[in-house]
Amino acid sequence: MIEIFKKISLGNWILIGMILGLIFGLFLNFYVDNPFIKNVILMDNIFYLGGNGFIKLMKMLVVPLVFCSIVVGVASISDIRKIGAIGGRTILIYIITTAIAVTLALVIGIIFKPGLGLNMASVAQSSSVVMNQTMTDTILNIIPDNPINSLANGDMLPVIIFGLLIGYILAKLKEKTQIINDIFTQGNTIMMEMTSIVMKFAPIGVFCLMAKTFGSLGFEAIIPLTKYVSCVLLGLAIQAFVVYPGLLVILTRLNPLKFYRKFFSVMFFAFSSSTSNATIPLNIEKLSELGVSRDVSSFTIPLGATINMDGTAIMQGVAVMFAAQAYGMDLGTSALLTVIFTAVMASIGTAGVPSVGLVTLTMVFNSVGLPVAAIGVIFGIDHILDMFRTAVNVTGDAICTLIVSFKNNSLDTDVFNGKKPQKEENHHVTD
């Protein structure tokens, strides 16, 4: 029996925790009338401790994880100057598609209002939210007065800017700062391992958070959650089948149907594995079949798996609107622009591993003062959504690679259009 439990993946354990928490919460809501058992023992102590303890563990990760990953991510792309136009175009397109993705998500959240009807204010206290700042103040606030103070207080926008500057300087100085570079690289490795350890407590945390939420709110929480999932899936579908094909047609005049016909197998593998990193070899191979030079794809695809997280950005955008509406908060224009900027920056250096987007979601929430407790409500269903958004992430990597290859004359359009067979490339692997 123990061996059977060991074979269940973490994602499935989180899903089990969500379902059990939902059922137990509804049971408490409708069948347990004793206030001492329901409120004092369970809701205000056991579930509060388990749920908020897990949330605090996630908050503990955010600043060092994001700071180290951004520094390492920027420092690692120092060879872009050697690659020239390919590197510049690749990063620019990745940033543009991520900005489009999170903007699309915010618009969907504003239109469909997934959090409406879910009164989260009765479950947890809210914090102040950035609503009325002018654009000038918003820009000034991302420049750290004291970067150490920003790191200590978790002021994420100044932390991101400081991390970008350090990464750029490390990339520029190269061997002169190799020891510092190694320290950040090892720090990033440590934080990723710590994230894996914290995530092992996710099923318990999700159970407690779901039980507390549904024990307080009952069935009224189900409809907003369903709307949240629908909004995320709608955003992912539009990004994958409207935005990407549109960019491909506008910038290359290539037929997107020919791309998707060959690429669906890669999308399905990404869906089943929930990790962009594991899909890198298959993605490169499939792009080679579509006429893309391996010299280009071997650079753009691993880079995309690190900094191009359009599916994750869509989830984060919808989650922000879901939480704001659930807490009855009205996000102003400056706050929405802050969300777009933070979500785009959060994608830089974020590892392409399952559910890491939820950790950086804490950073996005903090950037506009949203209570991170709302993440616990959507945590349990995230594994399913993670599969869909990973498929979108790798599709975005491939589309961007096709565009960059076309613009740099590294795409054989006859191979793409099926007019001639794939040409074998002589390439070697370097250490």
Taking a C-beta distance cutoff of 8 angstroms, is the pair 61, 190 a contact? no
In a domain, 422, yes or no: no
Alpha-carbon distance of 346 to 159, in angstroms, equals 11
6-60: pLDDT as tens digits: 777 776 787 788 788 888 888 888 888 788 888 888 888 888 888 888 878 877 8
Residues, the chain: 431
User: Domain count of the chain?
Assistant: 1
Considering only CA atoms, which of 53, 51, 54, 362 is closest in space to residue 210? 51
pLDDT score for 215? 79
pLDDT score for 56? 82
**Buried/exposed code over 186-213 (b: 16+ C-beta within 10 A; e: otherwise):** ebbeebbeebeebbeebbbbbbbbbbbb
Alpha-carbon distance of 133 to 335, in angstroms, equals 8
Taking a C-beta distance cutoff of 8 angstroms, is the pair 209, 202 a contact? no
Taking a C-beta distance cutoff of 8 angstroms, is the pair 142, 161 a contact? yes
In a domain, 427, yes or no: no
For the chain, list residues with pLDDT below 70: 1-2, 11, 77-85, 120-139, 141, 156-157, 217-221, 272-274, 348-358, 380, 383, 421-431
In a domain, 4, yes or no: no
The total of other beta-carbon atoms located within 10 Å of residue 298's CB is 17
pLDDT score for 395? 95
355-392: pLDDT as tens digits: 566 677 887 888 888 887 777 778 767 767 888 988 99
In a domain, 411, yes or no: yes
pLDDT score for 175? 83
Sign for the CA dihedral angle at 15, 21, 23, 29 comes to: negative
pLDDT score for 219? 66
Strand partners, 292: 411
In a domain, 311, yes or no: yes
pLDDT score for 254? 93
Considering only CA atoms, which of 424, 349, 360 is closest in space to residue 386? 360
Q: Which domain does 65 fall in, by range? A: 9-416
Amino acid at the residue 335: A
pLDDT score for 180? 92
CATH number of the domain enclosing 49: 1.10.3860
Q: Residues 6 or more apart from 218 whose CB is under 8 A from it?
A: 26, 29, 30
pTM of this prediction? 0.73
Strand partners, 411: 292
Alpha-carbon distance of 118 to 104, in angstroms, equals 23
In a domain, 431, yes or no: no
DSSP state at residue 423: P
In a domain, 430, yes or no: no
DSSP state at residue 309: -
**Buried/exposed code over 244-280 (b: 16+ C-beta within 10 A; e: otherwise):** bbebbeebbebebeebbeebeebbebbbebbbbebbb
Taking a C-beta distance cutoff of 8 angstroms, is the pair 331, 320 a contact? yes
In a domain, 421, yes or no: no
Alpha-carbon distance of 109 to 115, in angstroms, equals 9
